[in-house]
Structure 1
């Protein structure tokens, strides 16, 4: 670490032009990689043979490589070659990227459920993600996903997703909560483009069929739907995060916008948009403060099928599974993560969190966000069991305890950090 600091200081002088004679890169060499292709690493790196030796450019390359699912860690070295030229070495520590998943859980009705999947995050050694899952939760579901951010160049790529998801969904009417069998069959294609080190765009479309069938005897003649829809989707992201194994620092903002049009004249077109703000800060050697703020709005239709939901697995730990819906959302998740034990590849991390949020009722007003019926506040504690050399190999368990009106409490399990 001290050697790298000295190198950064020296290179900083170079990039400021203090040396009269410009130092050049003779070659970029890559070491330590086994499955990740050297040609791919060089293609997405900014440092090239013949370019000026610049510490800022090297630092950006290192951060970019650490963001790849296939990279656990990377560091650089600089060695003199000849005639004021230097060789730059990128030393790669790879993640294991063929990841099976097996989740077992119970629903509110104590039905046994599971999800089995397999994903490869470094297909062909070019950081391409490809995989699928099968889910049995009362009904059968599956999905197939492909994502290649550098398929066409070091800036342009493609993502394609197929899904056939069937679940039991609660739908909230004024006088009752009804259970529906909900099925969503969709195909999605997105173009991916990176403008520069921190800014990227996803733009594409999704064609899907939504089917809501009432479960049980429909004594109140509740609506049932089977509708073909088109969705235009855009994601704009500013990402200035830096990773060091389980620790994250920096800021990220991700804006999502969708416009949905229906082939059924009885259903109006609508939009939905939200922005996630992330702020991470290292605290000492073993601490990490993590924050996520989500703010979103949708067309304010008075409908029981509102797009924003209050859910354990999405926004408020301990609140329950899809307990309410709304056409607007404000949620803040803040937690302090502390490494309790670390040895070789294994990390045990503890966290203390507060999840707080509020929703606008379908057809409601802005002051719904301050209505005590809609405000949820849930502090809690959790544990993370982590493998440092397997991508996203984080098993988490959290316990949230509500302190707001009509609060509940409960455990939430999952794979990966909550946010």
Structure 2
């Protein structure tokens, strides 16, 4: 170690590149500079190799590859990481149109390329749902196309017997005009037999609802979208013959106009039969009736969450909250029903102007293989409603609540189908005479 106290004592640098001691001094400096240049070149080369040159898809015979490029949003020259590759694969799985998605990085003449290998699920599938309790049975049959236009659209047609005959069809095309704009359209005749109370008398009406609705959709991003639209509704009421001479009109008909707004946040990831994440859907609706003053309104918010536990378990929860204008009407908008909110309770057993429903479910994988998987399920469903004219707090009154628990099974078929079949049996926790089953496709929630 040495110290310099005078600038005149600083050794002079050589000014020539000749032979002798001066040349020997320069050679190490040149070697160091050469090493630095080589290192910089290697870093630049590594930087170039970490860029994405191309994104390709293999196996997309029906799906529009241009749509897949738009949906993923991965651009040429974007930085490449394993996270980018894996997130892209998960986004493709979440579309629900592929039974399997794998990805790999490879080097081509054009540069680094991410290739997603896709196994397209059968796009057109049959639809079957049914369930019931003693002397009360319903079923739905139909078909749906889950990759309409090759852009992950859904087209559905079905017939339903629910005391009476109904049909419905709808089209959801979430990315029809690029990654941001889509449409939803619905038309149907919903025919039911409704329990009502007029002047403290229990009655039944045959109700026909003719509905046509269209909503435009804007995708803020892959997780958040907004829908806005409206439609028309014609309601026809006919009192069941056995109630002739009781209070209430024999027939009634109403022509209504609907306005709807929906906000959906979907952060749920699917990997085969396993599902994790969070989902929220908020729907607001206003209704005007021809020849009547005033506006009817309704709001429904649905929260769903899923998390994995242990190695083979999934806990799912749903909270469905609804509230509407508290008119003194026998035809209230919220219903208690096995198909909608409480498994085993029966078909349209009660009506209310508000609803709070909690569904808890535990799914445990008991068998898994190349065919798919089998899950055992246990669940608890609790629901409360407000009758016409009551305060919202009455939603939780004992006479306005039901609680059911039960068991079930899920059969997930992966090859070609990528589809879940379910069966559930629910039993009342307060009344041993109330129980029933629900069978269908897809998870209950």
| TM-score, scaled to structure 1 | 0.88
Q: Which runs of structure 2 are paired with 1:275-294 in the superposition (5 Å)?
A: 275-294=301-320
Matches within 5 A, 1:371-390: 371-390=397-416
Match of 1:121 in 2: 146
Query: For residues 309 and 252 of structure 2, what CA distance do their matches in structure 1 show?
Result: 51
Q: Does 1:254 align with 2:281?
A: yes
Alignment deviations for residues 330-355 of structure 1 (CA, whole Å, 9 cap, x no partner): 11101100111223224221101011
* Larger RCO of the pair (alpha carbons < 8 Å, separation 6+): 2
Change (3 A) 1:373 1:136: closer
- Aligned match of 1:146 in 163, 171, 180? 171
Q: Give runs of aligned pairs for residues 67-216 of structure 1, distance below 5 A.
A: 67-81=94-108, 85-103=111-129, 109=135, 114-173=139-198, 175-216=200-241
State the Cα distance separating 1:106 from its structure 2 match. 6.5
- C-alpha RMSD over aligned residues: 2.6
1:349 to 375, 398, 403: 375
Establish whether residue 318 from structure 1 lines up as the match of residue 344 from structure 2. Answer: yes
The DSSP-based 3-state class of the residue aligned with 1:321 is coil
1:3 maps to: none
SS at 1:42's partner residue? helix
- Structure 1 position 389, deviation (Å): 3.4
Partner of 2:428: 402
Measured against aligned partners, the alpha-carbon deviations of 1:350-376 in whole angstroms (never above 9, x if no partner) come to 101011121122111122033111121
Secondary structure class of the residue paired with 2:390: coil
TM-score (norm 2): 0.83
Displacement, 1:104? 5.8
- Aligned-residue offset at 1:27: 0.2
Residue 254 of structure 2 is matched in structure 1 by 227
The structure with more helix, counted as a fraction of residues: 2
Q: Which has the larger radius of gyration?
A: 2
The change in CA–CA distance for 1:63 and 1:264 in structure 2 (over 3 A counts) is: farther
SS where residue 158 of structure 1 aligns? strand
Say which SS state the counterpart of residue 63 (structure 1) adopts.
helix
Partner of 2:394 in structure 1?
368
| Among 271, 290, 294, the residue aligned to 1:244 | 271
Q: 1:153-180: per-residue Cα shift (whole Å, max 9, x none)?
A: 1111112111112122222345232111
Counterpart Cα distance in 2 of 1:249 and 1:109: 38
- 1:240 aligned counterpart, secondary structure: strand
Residue 73 of structure 1: CA displacement?
3.0
SS at match of 2:399: coil
Q: Once the two structures are superposed, what CA deviation does each residue of 1:205-256 show, in whole Å capped at 9, x if it has no partner?
A: 1211011111114312313421111111111111111111111101111111
Residues 1:287 and 1:114: Cα distance change in structure 2 (over 3 Å): closer
2:40 paired residue number: none
- For 1:250 and 1:104, the matched residues in 2 are separated by 28
Choose which of 331, 356, 361 in structure 2 pairs with 1:335. Answer: 361
Confirm or deny that 1:37 pairs with 2:94: no
SS of the counterpart of 1:335?
Answer: strand
Alignment of 1:15-34 (within 5 A): 21=47, 23-34=50-61
Structure 1 residues 173, 402: closer, same or farther in 2, change over 3 A? farther
- Structure 1 segment 261-280 matched on structure 2, within 5 A: 261-265=288-292, 268-280=294-306
Distance 2:108 2:372 in 1: 39
Q: Taking structure 1 as reference, are residues 88 and 346 closer, same or farther at Cα in structure 2, changes over 3 Å only?
A: closer
Distance 1:206 1:74, change over 3 A: same
2:52 counterpart SS class: strand
Taking a change above 3 Å as real, the CA distance of residues 408 and 178 of structure 1, as seen in their structure-2 partners, is same
Q: Which runs of 5+ in 2 are unaligned?
A: 1-42
Q: Deviations over 1:58-78 (max 9, x none)?
A: 444333221213122323212
Residue-pair matches, total? 400
* More displaced stretch, 230-239 vs 128-137: 128-137
Equivalent residues of 1:296, 1:330 under 8 A apart: yes
Unaligned runs of 5+ in 1: 1-16
Q: 1:49 aligns with which of 76, 81, 85?
A: 76
Q: CA deviation at 1:277?
A: 0.8
